[in-house]
Each structure stands twice: as C-alpha cells, then as structure tokens.
Amino acid sequence: MNLRRIGKSELLVGPLAFGGNVFGWTADEATSFRLLDAFVDAGMNLIDTADVYSRWIPGHQGGESETIIGKWLKRGGRRDRVVIATKLGVEMGPGEKGLSRAYMQRAVDRSLARLQTDYIDLYQSHRDDEETPLEETLGAYSELIRAGKVRCIGASNYTAARLAEALQISARLNLPRYECLQPGYSLYDREPFESDLADFCRREQVGVITYFSLASGFLTGKYRSEKDLEGRPRAYRVKDMLNERGYRILAALDAVAAAKHATPAQVALAWLLHRPAVTAPIASATTQIQFEEQLGAAGLELDAGDMQRLDEASRS
C-alpha cells in the first residue's frame, strides 16, 4: 500500500480515510465494527471522526462516533495499526465549544475517554475560533503534545488567510504547526479549495484530507432524479446538485467508469487521489459493498485524458 505523509509530520497514512461520521448514526455498532475490521484488513489506517458526531440526530449528545471507535479499539487491540484523527471546537453543549485553552483541556480528555486510548494521532480544530487568539490555541496544542495526549495537529474549514496566519505564529513562537487541512472538496465542489487553498497547502507542505469527497453521495451516481432522493438522510444536500452541471459531471463519470471497468464513485475518489495537493480523501460507508467499492479507488489509475474530461465537465 502506498503510504502518504501528513504534512511534515511523522504520520503515514493510506490513500483513503474512513469517515466516522456514520458510526452511531447510519451504521450501528455491529456494522461499524465490521467495517472498521475490513478497513484495517485492507491495509488502510486513517480513521476520521469528531467529538460532535452525531449530535445533530435527535436524542444524541455528541460523542457517539468516538464511543464506537473506542469500543472497537478496546475489543480488537489494533491501536498501533491505525491513525485516529478527531476534531474539537463545534458546540457540544452550553459554553462547551471553541478553541480556548481551558475548553481544549476539557475536550481532549473527554475524547480520549470515549476513544479509550491514551493519545490522539491527529487532533484537529473543527472550525476557526476568531474569538480566541491563535497564539492561545496553538499554545494549548503544544501543552497537549508535551503531555503525550496528542501527536500532531490539523485544521478544518480554515481560510487560506487564517491558515497562513497560524503557520506564521507557529514558526515565530516555536509552536506546533497545523500539519493538515480538512476542507470540503470534490469533483462537484471545487472552487472554495482550488481558489487559494490548494496552491498554499502544496507550497507550505500542509497535508489535505478532504471531506464530502463524494458530494454527499451524489458522485456515486445513485441520485439522478428527485425521486431517487426519497427517504434519503442526505437528500437536502444533494437536491441542488440535480442541475445541468451536475448531470454533466455524472455523464463524464459514467464515461470514464465504463472505460476503466470501474464505478462512478471509484472514479470520483481516484480523481481526488490524482490531485497533487490531496493526501487522502475521506469516504464513509455503511455496508460492506459500499466499502469494497470505495477501496477499488485506491488502485485506479486515471490518465491525462481521463483527468481532462472530468476537469472540463466539472468547470463552473
């Protein structure tokens, strides 16, 4: 398996990351265990989650995904074979949010308890907290690393300007740097990341772990009309993609997939893996069939003609 380094850190990860947002939501505990076993058995290692997953579900409080991962780690004894990435900062309750030093110290201990581990490989700021000085946040991360609770750090949903400011502060004050960025990026959603973040991340050697890599399932090709959205939990995200550009992208995915004896989902993930700035796309699965399909993207080679066809179809 071709491992990739996250930024300048010592963390090496496989080409695909497993999105843990489904654990405890659309994948129950038993299903989650089976999928995690299959993921590691396939030679992959990066599992991405967040403390807030899945607080948006009625009756949930957050921490459901981390709790399932923790039970799996405790049961399977595979801690040394995986890279656990989690995030903090999104509201978990009244007064429980942000990136202040005091809150980060509480949040990390809660995540460690749910994950049933002594350390987090990659701890990420889920959202920028403009009310807290970057110096305070990065200083708190430094304390967590010195305490052995965290190995390296990353950021999610940061603008290029704020990420650049954070890296400058890290260099000036000799504090840990954000080794990766987690942006929303896919063949459908290109502009926000490609406008200024892609070149910046390459230049500064910041790894990129993409979320919504399959555009909430649209790029799998299973949603081609509003009728296909009926009863789907993410229908509200996909509905607006059923437009002229969306259908053009699906047609290009279909054509490349047919030529490569692959599926649209595999081609969409392979397109990300062929983007020079991307370290690993995150993809979620709730069945063994979905997982095996996504795994096929890791070895799928796209030539210049394939990339051009997909690029042209997805231009705004």
**Residues assigned a catalytic role:** 53
Beta bridge partners of 303: none
d(CA 287, CA 291): 6
- C-alpha pair distances (Å), 110 with each of 59, 79, 93, 96: 19, 18, 13, 12
Contact 4, 280 (CB under 8 A): yes
Strands 12-13 and 207-210: unpaired
Q: Which residue has the tokens 């990300």?
A: 272
d(CA 125, CA 249): 32
Tell me which residue of 36, 59, 84, 102 sits closest to 286, measured CA to CA: 36
What are the structure tokens assigned to 290, written together?
């979905």
Tell me which residue of 139, 88, 144 sits closest to 114, measured CA to CA: 88
Residues in Cβ contact with 247 at an 8 Å cutoff, skipping those fewer than 6 apart: 224
Contact 42, 295 (CB under 8 A): yes
What are the structure tokens assigned to 250, written together?
């699906």
CA 66, chain centre distance (Å) = 14
Q: Which residue has the tokens 């995986």?
A: 82
